[in-house]
A and B are shown apart, each in its own frame.
Chain A
Amino acid sequence: MIYFDYSATTPVDRRVSELMTEINEEVFGNPSSVHLFGQKARGYVERARQQLCTAVGCDPTEIIFNGSGSEANNIILHTLLYGEKRHVVLSAIEHPSIYNAVKELEPLGISHTIVDVDDTGRVDPDEVSAAIRDDTGLVSIMMVNNELGTVEPMAQIANICKEQKIAFHSDGVQALGKIPVDVKNLGVTSMSFAAHKLYGPKGVGVLYLAGGEELHPLIAGGSQENGRRAGTENVAGISGFGLAAELAAVEVHDEMERLSHLRNIFVSNLKENRPEVMINGHSSETVPGVVSLSIPGVSAEKLVMKLDMDGFALSAGAACASGSPKPSRVLKAIGLSDELNRQTIRISFGRFTTAEEVDSLLNALLKHIPIAEAETAT
């Protein structure tokens, strides 16, 4: 079985899992405890916080550990309930943890405006600007789209928000580890991350919050994370995230080059053999490891099943959309017809993907994509 679904999740890097095993076996203290057991655990949590800070370029007080990227997104949206400005601007291709969370907040008085994207999945910053109202309290635009790999025009959106003095949140879950992320350069006021997308464990998220401000916690209780997220810290998970972020930051440039190369070979070979195949997303503003493919006449659902049975793991549309019949909202937003939507698969490469694996995937795909009938010349 070969894995081509790194955008859904990643295997835990051995270096990370070794550290986590060590912590699980030897460091059981509660980081809030005064005694040596607690001190030891606290050390691991704070070391991880520093690693995250180095990886994304912020201060330790600006990192809030929590349970997932989805939780981090929910924490930020939830703060709107306590402010004067109760309108949020988001893109049509946000992750469900923004998109659906906004809908959940609607009956509580949080209104929203959805900004469309172009056929590559890019938001037009002018449209963001136009969507901002007097009562807009937040702009939430993801940095990298999970289904397409498209990178959004972060700097321009950040400038607009800065000029208008509006908070700019970005879901960075699909960005960290794949491309460099420097929160200060990006100009975001908050950003969310998840460990499992960068070879760390599942169930650990981070919210970066500029200035390390106080906020109304989504999960109230003890004073963990400076009172911003209650619950005894997941010490091993947090440490795993710290190391995973450190490793990713060190390796990101080489990985980008390697994965771009693999992707280019794969796409050009595929196009050469099956010219009718369409590549979705942006040609240059994209993370290197993600390929969204529309194959006219081929059911993505069945193709994913066949490839699974052949030993290749990948997704139809996005992983979260699998098993549901609804065409992907993201693919709809870039203008794909419902038919083409159901003929779209997502392949994502990662740290352990080799050239040989990509080659065997190509052969498997060619086996299942019939050669389009050539126009008969008379």
Chain B
Amino acid sequence: MSKREKVLVAMSGGVDSSVALHLLVEHGYDAVGVTMKLWNSRDENGNLVNDSYCCSLEAVNNAKLVCEAADVPHYTLDFRGDFREKVVNNFTTEYLRGRTPNPCIRCNSDVRWNALLEYADDLGIEWIATGHYARIDISQPDRPTIQKGLDSHKDQSYVLWRVKREELSRTLFPLGNLTKPKVRKIAREANLTTADVAESQEICFVPNDNYRTFIESESAAENGLNGSGKFVTPEGKTVAEHRGISHYTVGQRRGLGISGAEPVYVQVIEPDSGDITVAPRQSMFFSGCSLKDLNWHIDETDLDIVNELTVLIRYNHEGVSCKIERNRDGTAEVRFDEAQFAVAPGQSAVFYDGDRLLGGGIITEGFLNEETTIGQGEINE
């Protein structure tokens, strides 16, 4: 009998990772489940700080139950220190600087992949796996590529751009070819405890999905960086006071407390002066943006011969054709073929060629469209 290949499966206690494990075991892998404890679901006094299922005792126990039923070992790994340092602190700092971070992306690249590979190496395990809806092609191990998940509603390739390409060569995504309903069906048929665990959409460490309160409590110690300031028009006229830049995101319309003939949106946040420019919808379109922290899953020399370069400027964005100009210092400028509504600094711009994920970067600045065009793609509020 040939030796079975080993895989370390990241188990969140949700249905997706449970089915990922189940499928790997069915396919003859020798699996080991791990749940990363990233955040305290209770404070020092034992009170629940979070209504999130993620990292709760229930989630860990459910992961254990799924593993136990599959006769697979399960371990809980503590990464609270790393997560706090690399993800949560960054999240707060970014908001206080008027930017809109995506902590899930950072968690994948700066915490989860490192951690999983470290443990896999130490335990003599070849593969790592997660329950992401994305497809991965590792037929050329030195040049792995990610494709969008088959289920276009669930595709999660967007949150994977920052993972280093070389870290992908040992990664498996068992759900890439499945739809969410199919995953639920598999879970129910296999009688997995987690078959009906509700979908989590909120940010796992933010209580009650209220990031503003979270930032306030996190920054309370941080000397009033979050002070209030002025709402101004593009012409520089003050229209109202605001509650502090971390309360606002580019593209936001609700909760501004500004009345007027036509609705206005947050157009630009100026962290240094504390000014927030608000503008009517027709002035909310951007012709492009600048990027930093680029990471590619494609040889950079091949970027120039990509058929149709498309960029997604936020999760669930439908994408827009674009051109990219890379600078020597590792930054880049992107020009959209069609102006886009609300480009928020701090978000990720993620590039595709068709379904293939090419890479991405963090948006540092949006370029306001000079002509007022009605473009596509408004944020759903």
Contacts and interface: CB of A to CB of B under 8 A. Distances in A.
Interface in A289-313: 299, 301-302, 305-306, 308-309
B122 A308 contact: no
Contacts of A370: none
A325 interface: yes
A324 interface: yes
Contacts of B80: 325
Contacts of A323: 37, 76, 78
Contacts of B73: 305, 308-309
A378 to B, nearest CB: 34
A118 B305 CA distance: 70
Which range holds the interface residue count of chain A?
Answer: 10 to 19
B207 to A, nearest CB: 22
A299 B124 CA distance: 15
Interface in A226-274: none
Contacts of A308: 73
B10 interface: no
A-side interface mostly: helix
B81 A325 contact: yes
B32 A309 contact: yes
Interface string B39-81: 0000000000000000000000000000000000101111011
Contacts, number: 24
A264 B334 CA distance: 70
Interface string B115-140: 00001001110000000000000000
B123 A302 contact: yes
Contacts of B81: 325
A305 B75 contact: yes
Query: When A and B form their complex, which 8 residue pairs have the shortest distance between CB atoms, in order from nearest?
Result: A325-B78, A323-B76, A302-B122, A305-B75, A306-B123, A309-B73, A305-B123, A308-B73
Interface residues of B, number: 13
A324 B78 contact: yes
A113 to B, nearest CB: 23
Nearest to A325: B78
B119 A302 contact: yes
Interface in A307-356: 308-309, 323-325
Nearest to B118: A302
Contacts of A306: 122-124
Interface in B117-173: 119, 122-124
A302 B122 CA distance: 7
A299 B75 CA distance: 15
Interface in B16-44: 32, 37
A323 B37 CA distance: 9
Interface in A86-124: none
A302 B32 CA distance: 13
A106 to B, nearest CB: 13
A308 B78 CA distance: 18
Contact of A309 (B37, B76, B123): B123
Contacts of A299: 122
B21 to A, nearest CB: 16
A324 to B, nearest CB: 7
Nearest to B125: A309
Contacts of B77: 301
B49 to A, nearest CB: 17
A86 B124 CA distance: 54
Interface in B72-111: 73, 75-78, 80-81
A305 B77 CA distance: 11
Contacts of B75: 305
Nearest to A326: B78
Contacts of A309: 32, 73, 123
A38 B123 CA distance: 55
Given A301-B77, A306-B124, 13 more contacts: A305-B75, A305-B119, A306-B122, A306-B123, A308-B73, A309-B32, A309-B73, A323-B37, A323-B76, A323-B78, A324-B78, A325-B80, A325-B81
Contacts of A305: 73, 75, 119, 123
A309 B119 CA distance: 13
A103 to B, nearest CB: 12
